[in-house]
Amino acid sequence: MNFSDFQLLTVLAKERNMRKAAERLFVSQPALSQRLQTIEKEWGRPLFLRSHKGLALTPAGELVVEYARKVLELEEKVKEDIQAMESEVYGKLKIACASIVGQHWLPKVLKKFVERYPYVKISLITGWSSEILKAMYEDQVHVGIIRGTPDWKGVKMHLFKDHLYLVDCEIKRIEDVLVTDRPFVQFKSDSNYFQEIQDWWHRRFQTPPKSTIIVDQIETCKQMVVNGIGYAILPEITLDGLSGRLYKIPLVNEDNTRLGRDTWLIGYSNYFQLKQVDAFVKIVQESIQTGKE
């Protein structure tokens, strides 16, 4: 059966008259009768009872006609949904985001996106920037948000730079790290970020910290600082909402420039042509611009 067969059955069920049904369907009565016989043969039993009073549905006919109505209703809904796509944004948006950005910056962006584009389904994975790049190269996602300076040949959009701070409840000057017995609390991260901190430390102090504690998550590192266990170097993006009496000392290079961490949005150009990706990028740009104002 095809869609014209479904229409034929629903018209016959409504008119209960072969001549009137043929007129509505713009076919001859013999052609209509022959097609009905073919349909009944496909179902293996009569769907209508014929009499001089017209047509009457058999029990099997009632089931098949109800099925035909549902198929036609579904077809109409799909057509309406397709037409709506021209004015609404649909589809699935697949994002891979560096964990720290996913925790502290992205939720506000996604809140605005979901409010404006409620029909888009979002898939989000988080991890280290190296893992985000891997997901991008393996074509698992539409866009990636990573930290550092990516070696990416596709579309690359700079989002923001957040500066690095030495944070502690006791240390007020950067030079005090040389005399304190408090441990330097570090968190595991991408090797390039870890190396960047190590290089800055050795350029500045030429000697390693007296003691260190390594934790697996940046949030754990931050809580250890808040609770006075030690000091840490944290990116600005993580410092909102820090409670307690904490000193935040900006890290600077030899030329007195601030040490910071860049965040980028990357992707392949063909994905940026998708409506849902284009809409997400515009929301991101709005959020970045609002943050600068």
List of residues 6+ apart from 79 with CB closer than 8 A: none
Q: What is the pLDDT of residues 106-141, one digit of tens each?
A: 999 999 999 999 989 999 999 988 899 999 999 999
* Tokens representing residue 232 in the block: 């840490």
List of residues 6+ apart from 166 with CB closer than 8 A: 174, 177, 231, 232, 233, 248, 249, 251
Provide the 3-class DSSP secondary structure of residue 56: strand
CATH 1.10.357.10 is held by the domain 92-160+262-292: no
Beta bridge partners of 162: 261
Number of H-type helices and E-type strands within the chain: 10, 11
At residue 84, the pLDDT reads 62
At residue 77, the pLDDT reads 81
According to CATH, the topology of domain 3-85 is Arc Repressor Mutant, subunit A (1.10.10)
Report the pLDDT averaged over residues 91-95: 93
At residue 93, the pLDDT reads 95
Answering whether pTM is above 0.75, one says no
Q: What is the pLDDT of residues 6-64, one digit of tens each?
A: 999 999 999 999 999 999 999 999 999 999 999 999 999 999 999 988 999 999 999 99
Contact 236, 163 (CB under 8 A): yes
Which residue stretches of the chain are H helix?
A: 3-15, 18-25, 29-43, 59-85, 99-104, 106-116, 129-137, 191-205, 218-226, 275-292
- Domain parsing of the chain, residue ranges: 3-85, 92-160+262-292, 162-261
Per the model's pLDDT, the better-predicted residue between 171 and 194 turns out to be 171
Q: How many whole angstroms separate alpha carbon 5 and alpha carbon 71?
A: 11
Name the one residue in this structure whose structure tokens are 């740009």.
285
CATH 3.40.190.290 is held by the domain 162-261: yes
Identical topology for domains 3-85 and 162-261: no
Provide the 3-class DSSP secondary structure of residue 215: strand
